[in-house]
Structure formats: structure tokens, C-alpha cells
Amino acid sequence: MKSDVYSFGVVLVEMLTGLRAIDKNRPPEKQNLREWTLPILSDRTKLRHIMDPRLQGKYATKQAPEVAKLALRCLNPVPMFRPSMKEVADTLEGLNLHTSHQNKDI
């Protein structure tokens, strides 16, 4: 279902940033994580500014932009342009995320 893909896109953004999707304790312009991060997710140079600070820069710097790009596809406002969950799974599997945490700049 395409709504599941959208929700998964939100989860991907939460994982990248370490933040909740909606947080009324953040400044008004940052309360909705999706709205706030959409322009940043597509910019590789700005992406590092929203990555979860608890990672302390220790994340797969080559795969993070690919995950962000996938999140953007999942969050497409037009359901027919969102990937299927199979496409999402295949993309994530192709990124080899399970081994990339060993070396920061794989």
C-alpha cells in the first residue's frame, strides 16, 4: 500500500535525524520533521547538518544520502510516484547498510 511507503519514508527521516516526526517542543518551523527536512534531504552538502548528533559523525557517509533520496521518494505527495515496498527493500538491501557502520567512509 502506498500509504505504508509514505509512513516508511517518515521513519527513514526519523532514523537519519534521530528526531520524532512531530514535536511541539521544537521551534515552530521545525515541529513537523517532514516539512522541515524535505529541502535538506535532497542536498548532500546540507544533509550532515540534520544527521542524528548522537552518531557523532560516525555513519556511512556514502549511504546516508542514498537513504535520504529514498526517503524523499517515499514521501512523494503523489502516491503513484512513490516506490513500492519491494523497491524500498531492494534499495536498502543494495546499500549494504548492515556492514557500512564498520567503516565511516566506505
Residue pair 81/63 in contact by the 8 Å Cβ criterion = no
Going through the chain in order, the beta strands assigned E by DSSP cover none
> Which residues does 16 contact at the CB level (< 8 Å), separation at least 6?
41, 47, 50, 51, 52, 64, 67, 68, 71
How far is 82 from 75, CA to CA, in rounded Å?
7
Domain segments of the chain as ranges: 2-100
Per-residue pLDDT 10s for the chain (106 aa) are: 666 899 999 999 999 999 999 999 999 999 999 999 999 999 999 999 999 999 998 988 889 999 999 999 999 999 999 999 999 999 999 987 665 444 454 4
- The architecture CATH gives domain 2-100: Orthogonal Bundle (1.10)
Query: pTM to 2 decimals?
Result: 0.85
Short-list 52, 97, 92, 49, CA closest to 69: 92
